[in-house]
Amino acid sequence: MKVMHLISGGDTGGAKTHVLSLVEALLRGADVQLVCLTPGAFYNEAVDRGLPVVLLEQRSRADLSSVRGLTDLVKETSPDLVHCHGARANFLAALAKRRIGVPIATTIHSDYRRDFEGNLYKHLVYSTLNSLSLRYFDHYLAVTDDFRCMLIGRGFPGGKIHTVYNGLDFDADLPSEESAMAFRSRLGIPPGALLIGMVSRLAPVKRHDIFLRAASILLRDGHNAHFVLVGEGEERERLQRLTTELALDDRVHFLGHLPSTGDAMAAIDINVLPSESESFPYALLEGALHGKATVATPVGGIPELIKDGRTGRLVRVGDAADLAEKLDPLISSRGARMELGNALRSHASERFSLEAMRETHMQIYSRVIAAGMHPPRVTVSGYFGFGNLGDEALLRGLIKGLERERPGVDTWVLSADPKATARAHRISSAPRFSPSKVLSCLRRSDLFISGGGTLLQDETSLRSLVYYTSLIYLARLLGVPVMIYANGIGPLRTGLGRRLARSAIRTAAAVTLRDRASAGTVRAIMGEEGDWVVTADPAFALDYPPAEEVDAVLDGVMPGGAGEHSLVVLSMRPWGEDTHGPAALAARAADTLSDAGYSPLLLAMQESKDLPLAEMASRMSESHPPVLSTKGLQPELVLGIMGRSRLVLGMRLHALVLAAAAGTVPVGLSYDPKIDGFLSDLGAPCLGRIERLTPHDLESALRTSILPNLADLTERVGDGARRMKREEEGNARRAATLLERLSRMR
């Protein structure tokens, strides 16, 4: 793998730290060429470090001769990818894109629309040119999930945006205590006084004014503290005037730009960053490296690092009083500072190390290079964007399977809420109800996937069957091959429904079915005609989330936790016109489980429909179990919650699927043949049709046949779940085979 990194060369601060550290780390597993466009601090340090750096000097931003120089250099060195950093590099690479013939990517280090605030000319010219240049890139690396969402919101294709957090070498040697003391001595900090620092360029967006106003409040309250600002920028004169106005001249120290911030970070006691906009700031990572208690605003990627009350303190943007209030107890207690600082270092070293950053980049490069200049494009249709976590779990598994089998595939999803779908799944999305957008998507696709769920059925609505089959017919009319991907088929009650489904299945180039009951339906309407295979639900492809993320969700809804091996999840949905019936069943189940020593949790898989029912059930129950809505939760987190449960009792199919995928016993209450079909394939119990099941029957079944036999049920379900996990891989494998066949034909 050969990668060229292109950067201005005069960069300082976080961008300099990021790129130099990244290139140094990447050299351990890749052939890397660093190219600078100007001499300066960045270029000089790259030379000092012995990095493979070339100066392709651009005499001014208007000097476009460097386009030819870059083109010649790419042809001479033959990189697989050009990776840009910053506005100048972006503009040059965009101009050279057609000539260089390799994919180009850029890292979004900040909100590019705010990079030149404070200088009207630069803001109007450079920000505009950078904004235009970014539209020509093949891939984008966002340093926070917040920036990824920002790009999606501005119309960038979600499937080409990758999140990669900054990282530091947490094994690096730190300045000695003597160095820190010498630094404090040079500033004239008296013994016993605390030093509170802010390390960042002096720009309006960083809100140094809030830092200074908070300092004024703290000093009025009698705290023995000094305040240091490390960094240079256009705000310096204004901030120095404000310092004088607030009578802080003897307590505030402006240090300007430092070649290295190590001694300064070692010397301070509390690290502060009250910005109103951020990426994933190195100033906070460096503070974490030194184990410094930290107070910051919850903007950009900061909440990924600073967990309020656990690894630091978060404050409101633009609120000096709140900043002073959060600093006050830290100034007063060395123990509190040490506790937060140690927790921050532990958290950061696990998730934001230099090695993690290197490995993520290598994975992204591999996908980008494998995809090439023209990656295959797949459009996926299903019941997506309606706030139903089950369907979102299915979609997440589908996307994961495609990426596993065909790295770099460009996936587009038709959704009722395209922006939400793009943000949640890191892909591109188009409105499913816009004929022009749907047509545009299909015309540009290499494969159309009718993706998961029970799409070909007419029991709930003939309209939905007409919609999904019409998309299949339209795709074929446009010459796009179709795959029916892990579908549940049926029930098909009407003659028209059977004819539509039969024609759609005949049209498809490949068909995989979610369960054996669906295979029976297909056989009934088609005889032995056709080629299909029974696989499993795509949600079986999901990975477990970090344990601490599951803990955070459960602690938020069940203070004190559910107790080891005692959690039971109940997932009900309205059915028919009798909302009271499912709620009464859930209430009785919760009381029965509570009496048996379990901790029931009512889970609303689709907030708009399930939450009112869950809240009603909680009120009806004597044990008043807590209610958790899955709105805003990723499918993996719900999988993790299921994995903490002893059993999952429910009507929602994907509550049962996720339980099985997590190795937990699912117990079904049936309202639809898909529930019976899945549980039958798995070997898990179903307690009967919801219309005929009474609360007394449910209690009796739990007490006599479910709870006493949990160990045996767990073993039996485990065997079925492992088989389904293997079968799930067949879905994406068939899609990848189709794409490979199509690429050979092209």
Mean pLDDT rounded to a whole number for the chain: 91
> pLDDT tens digits for 164-187?
988 988 988 899 989 999 999 999
pTM of the model: 0.76
Confidence at 254, pLDDT banded by 50, 70, 90: very high
Residue 131: count other Cβ atoms within 10 Å of its Cβ: 14
> pLDDT tens digits for 486-514?
999 989 999 999 999 999 999 999 999 99
| % the chain with pLDDT above 90 | 72
> Is 149's pLDDT higher than 90?
no
Domain spanning 177-351: which CATH class is it, in words? alpha beta
Q: What is the CATH number of domain 547-725?
A: 3.40.50.2000
317 Ramachandran zone, left/alpha/beta (phi>0; psi -120 to 50):
beta
Query: In what order do the strands lie in the sheet containing 686-689?
Result: 627-629, 599-604, 567-571, 645-650, 665-670, 686-689
Residue, of 742 and 720, whose pLDDT is higher: 720
**Three-state SS annotation for 394-432:** HHHHHHHHHHHHCCCCEEEEEECCHHHHHHHHCCEEEEC
DSSP output for 110-147: S-TTSTTTT-HHHHHHHHHHHHHHHTT-SEEEESSHHH
> pLDDT tens digits for 2-39?
999 999 887 777 778 889 999 999 999 899 999 999 99
Measured distance CA(324)–CA(147) in Å, rounded = 29
Q: What is the CATH number of domain 2-163?
A: 3.40.50.2000
Q: What is the CATH number of domain 374-534?
A: 3.40.50.2000
Distance of CA 177 to the CA centre of its chain: 39
- Which pLDDT belongs to residue 563? 56
Closest-CA residue to 219 (of 338, 327, 340): 327
Range list for CATH 3.40.50.2000 in the chain = 2-163, 177-351, 374-534, 547-725
Per-position b or e across 300-311, b if 16+ CB within 10 A of its CB: bbbbbbbbeeeb
